[in-house]
Structure 1
Amino acid sequence: MKAVELDAIDHKILDILQREGRLSNQDLAERVALSPAPCLRRVRALEKAGVIRQYAALLDPRKVGLGLTALITVKLEKRGAMPSEAFAKAVRGWPEVVSCYSMTGDTDYLLWTVVEDLDHYNRFLTGQLLKLPYVVDVKSNLALEAIKLTTSLPLNHLGLDPRKGRG
């Protein structure tokens, strides 16, 4: 997929909105040195182009009763047709899985799961994931502490200097 052409003001807008998605258009315009109408047009154009995919509130998992994060690697049966579509469909229906990546290397998928506790994790693992007939191997890694957790994408490759680009 080809990247959308963005200028320095677009870079600033994206950098600010990734950190402060609820910022008013007036405040955003001031921070990027535009008047409100052109700023809003730029934001709408970024939304229309799919650069800004969505807006969301980021929750603290522990404060909503989700105290256990597990990263799970999954291998699927390789004989016959690869059941990747069936697996993807199952994963999309599991609220415990917050991210799923198809992988290269020794594993087929990496699941990032967030659950209440070890009992909930055990129920998910044995009652859902391991019940899929084409799952042949699962390895779990339980997170002890989140050292870095961000939803902001790095934009420095686009020419935005983070030290200068923050308004």
Structure 2
Amino acid sequence: MNKIKLIVIALIAVFGLTNCEGDKGEPGVNILGNTAEFTVNFNDSNEFTYLFSDNNIEVLESDAVLVYRSEQSISDPTGPIDVWKLLPETIYFDNGDILTYSFDHTFRDVRIFIDGNFDLSTLTPEYYQNQLFRVVVVPSDFANNPNNDLQTYESLMQEASKKGFQIDRKL
């Protein structure tokens, strides 16, 4: 209970400072949200489910939680670039099988899971091993604005930048 009180006080302080002026009248940095990145190995023993919880990410019950999965990695001279897709994500196979990556959350944790219309133990490892995810926590009024494109992680970052916000990355 004390941890929750501390988190609420910290969030009030952070959001209270978002409207402060910086040096020479320049706007201060607004913290829009937090990001965490991690790799998951799904299997029969964890029932193709992963529970993510990070005490360093502060979440209010009213915040929006977005989860992205890295669909592929593109080669670039500066290093590989991940291509992120917003969950839920559905994959349709030629044989009629349907695979869905999805999630649910509370203000304490995020549960990421795979579901399908077939026996998931028959999946090839590329669909359940070494799956890279990003969890992004943003205030709900930003996430619910229909003018903000949140479909990819890159578009989320661009929308935040346009509005002068910053997303803390805890990678």
TM-score range, shorter chain: under 0.3
* Greater C-alpha radius of gyration: 1
Q: What TM-score does the superposition give when structure 2 sets the normalisation length? A: 0.26
Q: What TM-score does the superposition give when structure 1 sets the normalisation length? A: 0.27
Structure with the higher strand share, 1 or 2: 2
Structure with the higher helix share, 1 or 2: 1
